[in-house]
Amino acid sequence: MKTLEELKATPRLIIESTGVDGGRGYIMMPKYDATVVWSFGGGWEHVSIAPCNRRTIPSWEEMCKVKDMFFHEDEVVIQIHPPKSDYVNILPNCLHLWRPIVETLPLPPSFMVGLKPGESLAEAIRKYNEYQ
């Protein structure tokens, strides 16, 4: 996660308050304003974003922008879909990004999604065969 100094230099992020393990504020998104809360306690880095109008839900592209605001480009973060028995929904249309501090998140090989720009089908097949 980016440092507080890096966050202070982030365009469209208005920091309202900070504490020992994070802060809160507002993000001026192109289509709406949103509340944002971030933290880095308990072994996890976390960012939640909720549009102020509560009728909108952040899109994938908007969540990518939030990820770029709070995390470095080489950091892997996740949105979690837990079992329904673990759902917590305190704020409508609020989405979350998570990153464990100590552990490294596993990622599926990129060929399972598709070809990277400039990658040939033969290269992807080779990677697949090596993976097996």
pLDDT in tens, 63-95: 999 999 999 999 999 999 999 999 998 888 999
What are the tens digits of pLDDT across the range 12-49? 999 999 999 999 999 999 889 999 999 999 999 999 99
Q: Cβ distance 98 to 48 under 8 Å?
A: no
- Residues 27, 48: Cα–Cα separation, whole Å: 11
Q: Which two tokens stand for residue 127?
A: 């990677």
pTM score of the predicted model: 0.88
Residue 67, CB-side half-sphere exposure with 13 Å CA sphere: 19
Provide the mean pLDDT of the chain. 94
Contacts of 13 (CB under 8 A, 6+ apart): 7, 25, 26, 27, 28, 36, 69
